[in-house]
Structure 1
Amino acid sequence: MTPLATRLFNVREGEMPLVVAGLALFFLLFAGYFMLRPVRETMGVAGGVENLQWLFTGTFVVTLIALPLFGWLASKVRRRRILPWTYGFLASNLLVFAGLFAWQPDNLWSARAFYIWLSMFNLLSISLAWSVLADLLSNEQAKRLFGLLAGGASLGGLVGPLLGTMLVGVIGHAGLVLLATACLLGSVLAAGYLQGYRDRHPLPADIEMPRSRPLGGNPFAGASEVLRTPYLLGIAVFVVLLASVSTFLYFEQARLVAAHFTSRTEQTQVFGLIDSLVQFLSILTQVFITGHLARKLGVGILLVAVPLLMVVGFLLLAVAPVFVLFVLVMVVRRVGEYALVRPGREMLYTVVLPEQKYKAKNFTDTVVYRGGDALSGWVKRGLDLLGDHPALAMFIGAGIALVWALTGAWLGREQRKRE
């Protein structure tokens, strides 16, 4: 590494293999997911925007069923085997959906099932990848490298929707699902290399709790850990508030796209272009800004900046609810989440026990997140039914974002105490 590269990327001597493998893990995972995300949005619109809250509720129920199965797996197998076994099972599910889309491409129930399944898949698979990184990197390395590694996620998030937009008219939705399956399996290989790197360069924590040993415990340990630990409970509250802000804006996006574009192919292309813009801006922030902010100002700045911007954004939308301003607020929210909030949120787990990094974290990232989605989805739908009062929803969103910022500030202080 040259001195310039070291200053720009915060990478130290001997860490380049770790960085490359981590970038590959996130690039492949996110390229596959974001290739399918526009497909999911199209499937959601196909069932009617007025029914989205039912899909959110279905996702929450499916997540409640899936998490104990993941908890059982995490309790029984070695930590290094949790990711490949989980991703292998998810890849087999994708193959089933590819067959369904090839057989009956316009089946509404297949579309709804895919929407619900992919909404569960993205949280579980992404949360698990971050769990592995939080397990394999020290707290000091996480502050320097999590932003850079998240850049691999955004690069995959940029390439994925671009590929989807270009290829959906050629290979169809079934073909995109098969291509995404190959990306998911490639991320398993990258995670295996990461485990091998840590075997050659062990951390002190690996001596206390070897990764060759199963975590033990019961499948519901994650929920009990969150409920009895104030620090983990604070993270759960932060995630609920994040999900609520995201859902309010998501419903408006779906409504606008459904009103302006009618065919499934056009809707997939529009969602893909929006994702591409968000990911491009996220890459610049993650690679050049996130790591420096975390190292110099701490994790708290990553958790507070975006919520405060959302307070301002919601208030502006309440006063001037125009389409251009809505797109700007949506892009800022998503770029900020990927580039600042997500790396900061994952850094919070570098100071907890291994069982909490996998079980408690995945409980929060899946059940708690989707529960917040479902609840806020019904709240938003209820506000819509009250009549044409968009300003009311925006004022409520501003209040939620303010509480979100205060929670992030508290978590940043608590993380510093645990270092």
Structure 2
Amino acid sequence: MGWLFGWRRRAGAGVVQPGEAPAGAAQDPANPIGGGLLAGLSLLLRSRYLLGIGLFVILLATASTFLYFEQARLVAEAFPERTRQTQVFSVLDATVQALTILVQLFFTGRMARRYGVTVLLTAVPLAVTCGFLVLAMLPTFGVLAGVMILRRVGEYALLRPGREMLFTVVDPETKYKAKNVIDTAVYRAGDAVSAWVKTGIDALSGHPATVALAGAVLALAWAGLGWWLGRRHEGQLGPSAGPPGRAAAAQQR
């Protein structure tokens, strides 16, 4: 993640709201960050930017939950033996880990520097949208395995760095309080709600394609929200922090 800190130093500090301290400002040990246990939730509810990040995390959890449920169903159908299922999951995990390392080493930093955080936040949701559509037409284990690998590698190598970059334009209190609420309570709530939604869709339809189509719609909304968050982030950093081509155009204007 060294490239992320280097990018942050070159980009400079931005603000979410006028009057807030820049994200890079050092915290005075004599004046620690105050506030109660609900301070993070209060910060989250007062900011459209933070609410957008929270909704982004919920949609991420929803896409993941839908795919994991389908994975459990298709693996059980294709590999009835528990030993074989364990082998399949181990192969998938090893593939995801290897590809994640390769993408992080050779692509993540280059994509962030060249195209900005917007691409990191939209590429995976758009790919997952296409994956859900293919899964609706071909609900096979092979297709699901490809979509799962794509989603997990994209989350670890692109989405997670992109989400961390979103918090480089907020003040320290927001970074350490609201972010904690989003990463824990909001994510887990989204995970639980999406499981209920998946169960409800199954009860109403009973056809796997319906779940895949619903997942495609939600993933498309997820991509749109990622685009909005990325543009907000880059706008707060200023033209000097965006992709080189965009920064040059902004300077000419």
Q: TM-score range by the shorter chain?
A: 0.7 to 0.9
Which of 263, 277, 284 in structure 1 is aligned with 2:102? 284
Structure 1 outlier segments of 4+, above 3 Å? 256-259, 265-270
Distance 1:271 1:215, change over 3 A: farther
1:388-403 alignment runs, 5 A limit: 388-403=206-221
Aligned to 1:220: 38
Which of 143, 159, 162 in structure 2 is aligned with 1:341? 159
Unaligned runs of 5+ in 1: 1-8, 12-133, 144-202
Equivalent residues of 2:7, 2:113 under 8 A apart: no
- Separation (CA, whole Å) in 2 of partners of 1:258 and 1:142: 50
Amino acid in structure 1 at the alignment position of 2:105: V
Aligned to 1:356: 174
Equivalent residues of 1:142, 1:347 under 8 A apart: no
Shift of 1:266: 5.8
Distance 1:211 1:142, change over 3 A: farther
Identical columns (%): 54
Number of aligned pairs? 225
1:269-348 alignment runs, 5 A limit: 269-348=87-166
Aligned to 2:54: 236
Aligned to 2:198: 380
Distance 1:239 1:224, change over 3 A: same
Unaligned runs of 5+ in 2: 12-22, 238-253
Distance 1:350 1:371, change over 3 A: same
Shift of 1:139: 5.7
Shift of 1:364: 0.7
- Separation (CA, whole Å) in 2 of partners of 1:364 and 1:138: 25
- Separation (CA, whole Å) in 2 of partners of 1:10 and 1:226: 28
The higher-RCO structure (CA 8 Å, 6+ apart) is 2
1:79-118 alignment runs, 5 A limit: none
SS of 2:147's equivalent? helix
SS of 2:25's equivalent? helix
Equivalent residues of 1:10, 1:291 under 8 A apart: no
- Separation (CA, whole Å) in 1 of partners of 2:115 and 2:34: 37
Equivalent residues of 1:138, 1:350 under 8 A apart: no
- Separation (CA, whole Å) in 2 of partners of 1:358 and 1:246: 25
Distance 1:256 1:322, change over 3 A: closer
Question: TM-score, length-normalised on structure 2?
Answer: 0.81
Distance 1:380 1:413, change over 3 A: same
Question: TM-score, length-normalised on structure 1?
Answer: 0.50
Aligned to 1:167: none
Shift of 1:272: 3.0
Amino acid in structure 2 at the alignment position of 1:328: G
Distance 1:210 1:218, change over 3 A: same
Shift of 1:303: 0.3
Amino acid in structure 2 at the alignment position of 1:381: T
Amino acid in structure 2 at the alignment position of 1:356: T
- Separation (CA, whole Å) in 2 of partners of 1:342 and 1:325: 24
SS of 2:37's equivalent? coil
- Separation (CA, whole Å) in 2 of partners of 1:411 and 1:255: 34
1:205 matches 2:38: no
- Separation (CA, whole Å) in 2 of partners of 1:339 and 1:306: 10
Shift of 1:204: 5.9
Equivalent residues of 1:310, 1:333 under 8 A apart: yes
SS of 1:205's equivalent? coil
Aligned to 2:8: 140
Distance 1:301 1:211, change over 3 A: farther
1:2-81 alignment runs, 5 A limit: none
Amino acid in structure 2 at the alignment position of 1:407: L
Shift of 1:357: 1.0
Instruction: Provide the aligned C-alpha RMSD in A.
Output: 2.4
CA deviations on 1:300-330 (whole Å, 9 max, x unpaired) are 0000001111111111111111111111111
Shift of 1:381: 1.3
